Amino acid sequence: MTDRSRLALSALLPGLPQLVVGRWGVGGLGLTVWVAFLAVLLTRWARFAAGWGGPLDHQIASLTVVAGLLGTWGWSMFDVSRQAELERSGISQWRLAAEAFKKNRIAVIGAVVIVWVYLIALVTPLIAPYDPAMQGPLMGRLVAPSGEFLLGTDHLSRDVFSRMMYGARISLSIGFVAVGISVTIGTLLGAMAGYLGGWIDAVVMRFVDMVISFPRLVLLIAIVALFDTQSIFLIMAVLGFTQWPGTARIVRGEVLSLREQEFVEATRALGFSRRRIILRHVIPNVLAPVIVTATLGIGNVIVLEAGLSFLGLGLQPPTPSWGSMVADGRNFLLNAWWISTFPGLAIVLTVVAFNLVGDGLRDALDPRLRA
């Protein structure tokens, strides 16, 4: 295929040129995102247009559609035209890892699933068939999955499918933010403890030991119970601030061995400040294990949040979250199995996807495991 025809194809159907040359992961993702978002734009034009003046989440949804379409198109055009440039530039460790990751089919599928779950969560206000909090007529209770209600309704006549889509936003944003908090704190404190040693190391690591020695769920319940209202920010913060010790331990261990390497000594001999050495030279070298723990950590946090919600310590009803939906449905398991089952499956699917990607990243980022 000539460059020109590839460009033309990319302009029309981004992702297809990549798909044709066998890059099924990114190609398939690009193409499906492009087609699906175009479909959303055409079929939900009214909601899309109204989104700009609506509440924040609605604005974000409309923005996501625009960004997704532009991003997919721009990426594909850039990707098609930059092959020559790629061959010239140096091969970074990240690129080597990306090559290795692509060979892992299951991990790529996991990554595609994750991207899709996040995209759906972002554009939910545009595509959800019903208002998640809207209670229908009494006779609409516990309706089995059908054409009208794809995944049925719950005991308050609410559409399970719509609630699941809204619930995804809660679960995923909590997972993302909590892990963001924990990775930032864990990496910085772990790197400082490992590199600086001395009393800083002792204080940080004893604190880590203390947090880890509590059963996590009991600790969470105790902290959440201290507050009157359970806002999403509280849950994010609590999960984030109890998650970092694991990361800190891993980072510290890595830094202890890095510190003895000659290139770190060389940076000291070149007159770099400790701050610069830690931030610019030590931390980039520990990012590989950090990324792996972060990915696995998101799955972990999603399960914990579901557990808290299941116990009634999560978000206040009627805000849907996967955990609270499972809890809602447990009284109706025998006659309305769909209320608990589908959110449960969503949790399983997402967490498994994160774990597959985490495993794939671990293999790809560790040169010793690279085939």
Partner 1 sequence: MPLLEVTDLRTYFTTDAGVARAVDGVSLQVGVGETLGIVGESGCGKTVTALSVLRLISSPPGEIVAGSSIRFNDEELLEVEPARLREIRGNEISMIFQEPMTSLNPVFTVGYQIQEVLRLHRGLSKREARAAGVALLAEVGIPEPDQRFDAYPHQMSGGMLQRVMIAIALSCEPSLLIADEPTTALDVTIQAQILDLLVEMQRVRGMALLLITHDLGVIAEVCDRVVVMYGGQIVETGTTEEILTRPQHPYTQGLLASLPGIGDRDVRLNPIPGTVPSAVDWPDGCRFRDRCSFAWERCAESAPDLLPVDGRSSRSARCWLLDPDEAAGRGAHVTPGEPT
Contact 132, 318 (CB under 8 A): yes
Helices 56-81 and 105-127: crossing angle, nearest 10°?
Answer: 140
Question: Least separation, in Å, of the C-beta of 206 and partner 1?
Answer: 19
Question: Least separation, in Å, of the C-beta of 148 and partner 1?
Answer: 55
First to last CA, the chain: 31
Question: Contact between 91 and partner 1 (CB under 8 A)?
Answer: yes
Question: Least separation, in Å, of the C-beta of 92 and partner 1?
Answer: 6
Give the CA count within 13 Å in the CB-facing half-sphere of 225.
Answer: 7
The set of long-range contacts for 332-340, using a CB threshold of 8 Å and a minimum separation of 24, is 332/142, 332/154, 332/155, 335/142, 336/142, 336/144, 336/152, 336/154, 336/155, 338/144, 338/145, 338/151, 338/152, 338/160, 339/142, 339/152, 339/154, 339/155, 339/160
Nearer to partner 1 by Cβ, of 150 and 196: the residue is 196
Binders of partner 1 among 183-202, rule CB under 8 A? none
The residues, ordered by sequence, that sit 6+ positions from 355 with a Cβ below 8 Å of its Cβ are 110, 296, 299
Question: Contact between 262 and partner 1 (CB under 8 A)?
Answer: yes
Amino acid at 259: R
Binders of partner 1 among 285-344, rule CB under 8 A? 285
Question: Least separation, in Å, of the C-beta of 94 and partner 1?
Answer: 8
Rule CB under 8 A: choose which of 83, 261, 316, 331 binds partner 1: 261
Segment contacting partner 1 (CB under 8 A): 52-60, 177-185, 258-266, 326-334? 258-266
Distance CA 8, CA 257 (A): 51
* Binding pattern for the stretch 264-293 against partner 1, x by CB under 8 A and - elsewhere: -xxxxxxxxx--x---xx--xx--------
Distance CA 46, CA 352 (A): 36
Question: Least separation, in Å, of the C-beta of 153 and partner 1?
Answer: 53
The residues, ordered by sequence, that sit 6+ positions from 149 with a Cβ below 8 Å of its Cβ are 143, 159, 160, 161
Closest C-alpha among 163, 202, 173, 191 to residue 253: 191
Amino acid at 168: A
Segment contacting partner 1 (CB under 8 A): 176-184, 234-242, 257-265, 314-322? 257-265
Residues binding partner 1: number (CB under 8 A): 23
Question: Least separation, in Å, of the C-beta of 252 and partner 1?
Answer: 17
Beta strands (DSSP E) in 44-122 are none
The residues, ordered by sequence, that sit 6+ positions from 208 with a Cβ below 8 Å of its Cβ are 245, 248, 249
Nearer to partner 1 by Cβ, of 2 and 89: the residue is 89
Question: Contact between 86 and partner 1 (CB under 8 A)?
Answer: no
Question: Least separation, in Å, of the C-beta of 264 and partner 1?
Answer: 8
Nearer to partner 1 by Cβ, of 146 and 273: the residue is 273
Nearer to partner 1 by Cβ, of 266 and 333: the residue is 266
Tokens of 280: 């610019």
Segment contacting partner 1 (CB under 8 A): 70-78, 90-98, 307-315, 325-333? 90-98
Segment contacting partner 1 (CB under 8 A): 116-124, 136-144, 145-153, 262-270? 262-270
Rule CB under 8 A: choose which of 45, 227, 233, 263 binds partner 1: 263
Contact 132, 156 (CB under 8 A): no
Rule CB under 8 A: choose which of 88, 206, 275, 368 binds partner 1: 88
Nearer to partner 1 by Cβ, of 148 and 265: the residue is 265
Burial of 41 (C-beta count, 10 Å sphere; 0-12/13-18/19+): middle
Segment contacting partner 1 (CB under 8 A): 89-97, 102-110, 122-130, 146-154? 89-97
Question: Least separation, in Å, of the C-beta of 324 and partner 1?
Answer: 43
Q: Which residues bind partner 1 (CB under 8 A)?
A: 88-93, 261-263, 265-273, 276, 280-281, 284-285
